[in-house]
Each structure stands twice: as C-alpha cells, then as structure tokens.
A and B are shown apart, each in its own frame.
Chain A
Amino acid sequence: DSGVTQTPKHLITATGQRVTLRCSPRSGDLSVYWYQQSLDQGLQFLIQYYNGEERAKGNILERFSAQQFPDLHSELNLSSLELGDSALYFCASSVGFEQFFGPGTRLTVL
C-alpha cells in the first residue's frame, strides 16, 4: 500500500460523457502526478501539480483538465469521452524524486 488513494476503482461510461477521477496523495506530499496507461500508448505522463499550482504538462488532451485543491487532493476531469480514452489512470505523489503510485482507476468508455 503506497498511501495514495484513488476513487473510483472502476468507471464505465458512454462516449460523449464527462467523468471525474479523484486522488488523495500521501500525507505530506505536495506533488501530484497523473498518468494514463493503455495497451496502445503505454504509460503516458499527463500533468503534475505542486502545492496547488500546475508544474509540468505532458501529453494531456484539451478535453482533459486537472486541479489540486488546498487540502492537496487532486481531480482529473475527462470530458467528451471517446472510445480511445479507455485506459488505466494512475495518480502518484511525491515529496522528492521518488513517486508513489495509487492503485489506479480503470475507465471503460462504451
């Protein structure tokens, strides 16, 4: 158990819909990262927040957005969902270089 929690574990929705994935970092960790993992694209870095501010951006689509709240939890919003958005979404947190991954949210878009 890494100490990072993600909800929900599984999410099944339809194309065109919008969903929100939630992440609670380890106690004391200021950085939160979001990753997408699919069979096609492999593991892809989406975005990083540090203490509420966006720190780094990867291959995040414009339909996706994220934020980190004052209590340091983070949410990833995915809108206008497409079949290709089906994937495992991981959140990770860190206080230094080492990142601790949560168990992931499996998103299925039908």
Chain B
Amino acid sequence: QQPVQSPQAVILREGEDAVINCSSSKALYSVHWYRQKHGEAPVFLMILLKGGEQKGHDKISASFNEKKQQSSLYLTASQLSYSGTYFCGTEEVEGSQGNLIFGKGTKLSVKP
C-alpha cells in the first residue's frame, strides 16, 4: 500500500523550518527517508525502525509513530542545499522484508 506524503510541495526561505509527513494504512516495520535532487540519484537520509526511535542527520531529524503508522521528517533552519524531492519508503510488517514501498515524494524548494 503506497504511503501518502504531505505536502506535495513546499517553498521555503533560507532559515525556515519544514515538516514532511508520511502516512501508511498498514502496520510498518520501518520507514526510510531519501532526498533526490533533479537529475541525480536518491540519497539515503535515515531509517526509522519500529519502536518510535528518533534519528537525526545534521539539522534534519525524523520521528516514527508506529501506532499511527506515520513518520515525519523535520528540516530546521533550511539551507539552499536542502532543495530537492523527499521520498519516504515504508517496509510493511506483513510485507516481505526489504520490500520498500515509496510515496510520491514532496518537492522542497529553498529560496535565498
């Protein structure tokens, strides 16, 4: 079941904060977050495992609410380099291990 990402797109000024949400209708084992810049390959940001563990990567952090099957990606004090499309990939408890299902992506544009 494809997870739903929101918002679909967001425009920020440098230094502003943003939250990207990823929601599934299925019980999840893990949530993976990736960023992809135009014309480039996706880059792994972080993984959230069942247990609600919060992980961070510089000024980018994420949370995972396994009861609600939701994950949120928090970008604080955004930089120009944060621009790109963010994808969440979910691994379902009842799916085959390693089978990631990706959302449609959230396009983030950071302006000076």
Chain A's nearest CB lies how many Å from the CB of B86?
Answer: 11
By DSSP majority rule, is chain B's interface helix, strand, loop, or mixed? Answer: loop
Chain B's nearest CB lies how many Å from the CB of A15?
Answer: 26
How many of A's residues come within 8 Å of B, CB to CB?
20
Contact A44 B42 (CB under 8 A): no
Contact A90 B41 (CB under 8 A): yes
Contact A57 B96 (CB under 8 A): yes
How many of B's residues come within 8 Å of A, CB to CB?
19
Is the CB of A20 closer than 8 A to any CB of chain B?
A: no
The number of A-B residue pairs with CB atoms under 8 Å apart is 46
Is the CB of A2 closer than 8 A to any CB of chain B?
A: yes
Interface segment, B18-26, B61-69, B101-109? B101-109
Contact B98 A104 (CB under 8 A): no
Contact B105 A100 (CB under 8 A): no
Interface residues of B in 49-108 (CB under 8 A from A): 87, 89, 96-105
Give residues in A with beta carbon < 8 Å to B: 2, 33, 42-45, 48, 55-58, 90, 97-104
A and B contact pairs by CB, cutoff 8 A, 6 listed: A43-B87, A43-B89, A44-B102, A56-B98, A56-B99, A100-B44
Known: A48-B98, A56-B96. 17 other contacts (CB 8 A): A33-B98, A42-B102, A42-B105, A45-B101, A55-B97, A55-B98, A56-B98, A57-B99, A58-B100, A97-B47, A98-B44, A98-B47, A100-B44, A101-B41, A101-B42, A101-B43, A103-B41
